[in-house]
Amino acid sequence: MNVKQENTTVGFIGLGSMGAGMAHCLVRKGFYVHVYARRPEVLSSFVEAGATAHDTPAALGSSCDIVVLSLSDASAVEAVLFGNNGLAQGLRPGALVIDTSTVAATTAQAIGERLAKQGVGFLDAPVSGGQAGAQAGTLACMVGGEAQQVQACHAVLSAFCQAITHVGALGAGQTVKACNQVAVAAAMLGVADALALARAQGVDPNIMRDVLLQGSARSFPMEKHAPRIIQESFEPGFRARLMRKDLRLALDTAHASGVELAAAPVAERLLDAMCNDERGDWDWCGVALEVGKPAEKTH
């Protein structure tokens, strides 16, 4: 039997493909977990596991010391926090909110300032590692905020993260997450190009992948995503429309900083083509199908 973690009550809002696994990790680690979802049917498995369900974010907030958010975008985060019966209405002074969603750094900073006025702490703590990592509790987390608050939340984050790094002030977590998405997108384009070239030359893409995994071309997309691309199996772990959203945030940040990026704009354009072709709910590795189409002949 798990011993409840120091009587800490933890709320969780956002029980989607990532959040569900993270919340179940908290239950398994022995925290007193409180949950809210817009669709009540989502809550049943958590209640059966021992969590307490609430009808509104405000009701959840009034019962919790720490609340974790895992939502799709900034508008969803702001609606949960500050909308009708929003979380902020129920939070007590001294409570902490951990936002694992991917939003702009400026959004995180604005939310933190607003919550600070009522004595509530806020950390931007986006995660990386996909749905499998969320379920296994092996995510990587990049946290922005005050060091004391990061330390206070360490046990909660450790329930679903194996790597927790305090990267700087509020908003820095989102900046590092943007860097992560830019780097992963570039690696995915490299894998897509390699697969397209192998096929064009009549080389078995599985053999090509096996060889590349033994050398300097080894990468997470080559290891984890290439088999799905070869098999054209695109059940979503991370949806294309969400990756497009993340890259657009990164590109906006780069533009505001006066920095021109190379691979991210290409990846965003290809993801946009996917989404416009009603494939936005495919796994984002399906972007590889946009690569390798016949080149236009030049004269």
Exposure string (b/e) for 158-178, b if CB count within 10 Å is 16 or more?
bbbbeebebbeebbbbbbbbb
Separation of alpha carbons 156 and 167, rounded Å: 18
Helical packing angle, 105-116 and 172-200, nearest 10°: 160
Of residues 177, 224, 245, 293, which has the active-site annotation?
Answer: 177
Alpha-helical regions (H) of the chain: 19-28, 44-48, 57-61, 74-82, 87-90, 105-116, 130-136, 147-152, 154-158, 172-200, 205-212, 220, 226-231, 240-257, 263-276
Separation of alpha carbons 229 and 224, rounded Å: 10
For residue 295, count CB atoms less than 10 angstroms from its CB and return exposed for 0-12, middle for 13-18, buried for 19 or more: exposed
Is residue 297 part of the annotated active site? The answer reads: no
Q: Strands 139-144 and 161-168: what pairing?
A: parallel
Give the active site residues.
177
